Amino acid sequence: MNETARKHDDDVERLIAEHNGDVQAAITVLLSERSFLMKELEYASLAMGYVPIPQTIDVSPFEFLNI
């Protein structure tokens, strides 16, 4: 396993540990934070005329959780 993959695995394990092993709670928090950040980008676009280019992710959010 390369260093990037190991760091990613460590981040995932840390996030799950922060939620006492509750994967659903960890995902809920991540989705909530994502929603907040998307709103912040929307506010930035209104204030400065910045429009982010929509991007898609080809990886399932559950792939790294081995669900």
pLDDT at 45: 82
pLDDT at 9: 87
Give the pLDDT confidence score for residue 23 in this predicted structure. Answer: 95
Q: Which two tokens stand for residue 27?
A: 């995902």
Per-residue pLDDT tens listing for the chain (67 residues): 687 778 878 999 999 999 999 999 999 999 999 999 989 988 888 888 766 677 666 656 566 565 5
Q: How far is Cα 38 from Cα 52, in angstroms, rounded to an integer?
A: 10
- By CB atoms closer than 10 A (0-12, 13-18, 19+), residue 16 is middle
Total domains in the fold of the chain? 1
Q: What is the pTM of this model?
A: 0.60
**25 falls within a domain:** yes
